[in-house]
Amino acid sequence: MVEDDAPRLPESPTEPPQPRAGSGWLRELLETVLPAVLLALVINLFLAQATRVFGQSMEPNLHTDQRIVVEKLSYRFHLPRRGDVVVLKLPRDPSELLIKRVIALPGETVEIRDGMVWIDGQPLDEPYLTQPTAGQMAPLTVPEGHVFVLGDNRGYSNDSRAFGPVPLENILGHAWLSYWPPNAIGFVD
C-alpha cells in the first residue's frame, strides 16, 4: 500500500481532522494578533487612551505619575464644559501635552482679581481649589472656537494665563477615570 502526503480524513466522526504541519501557525497568528492590534489602534485613536500625569499643576486633585484614561468621544458631540479636566496639545508646541481644567467657554469674558476667577462679571465657584487664585489678569473675551484653561495648582501651572485661549482642535479629550495608584481609583472631577 502506498501513502501520499494528502491530509487524511477522520476515521470516525469524533476524530478531528489532522492539521498540516507548519502552515497553520502563521494564519492563526494573523487571525488573532492582527485584529487585536487593529482594535487597539481604533480605540486609542478614536475612543480612549491611557496617559500619565506629569508635574504638579493639577494638585491636589491629580498628582505626578497618576495614571488616567482620557475619553475622546464626547467632544465630538458637544463642546467641553466648564470644570471639565482636559488633555490638550500646547498651542505653541503641539508635541507637548498638558492636563488642565476648562474655566471659560467661547464668548465669555474671564478675569482674575481679588483672589478669584470672574466669568462675565460673576465670581466662579471652584470647590476643587485649596488656595485662592493669586495675581491679576485683565478681562479677556474667549474667542469662538477656543476655551480658557487653568491648572488647579494656580501657583505652579503653565496655562491660558501664559499661552492664551486654547483652540478646540487642540483638545484631545476629557480626563475621565483615574486607575493608578489604587488609592486614586475613580472618576476625575
From 12, 23, 57, 178, the catalytic residue:
57
What percent of the chain is modeled with pLDDT above 90?
Answer: 58
Query: How high is the pLDDT of residue 28?
Result: 79
From 100, 157, 160, 178, the catalytic residue:
100
Residue 7 pLDDT more than 70?
A: no
Neighbours of 100 (CB within 10 A): 25
Q: Which residue has the cell 465670581?
A: 123
Could you give the CA distance from residue 173 to residue 96 in angstroms, rounded to a whole number?
15
Q: Which tens digits make up the pLDDT trace of 114-167? A: 999 999 999 999 999 999 999 999 999 999 999 999 999 998 999 999 999 999
Region of poorest pLDDT, from 49-53, 99-103, 123-127: 49-53
Residue 72 designated active-site: no
Residue 45 pLDDT more than 80?
A: no
- Top-level CATH class of 71-172? mainly beta
Could you give the CA distance from residue 166 to residue 113 in angstroms, rounded to a whole number?
21
Beta-bridge mates of residue 88: 98, 171
39-60 b/e with 16+ CB inside 10 Å = b? Answer: eeeeeeeeebbebebebbbbbe
Cα–Cα distance list, 61 to 14, 58, 71, 80, 164 (Å):
61, 6, 18, 19, 23
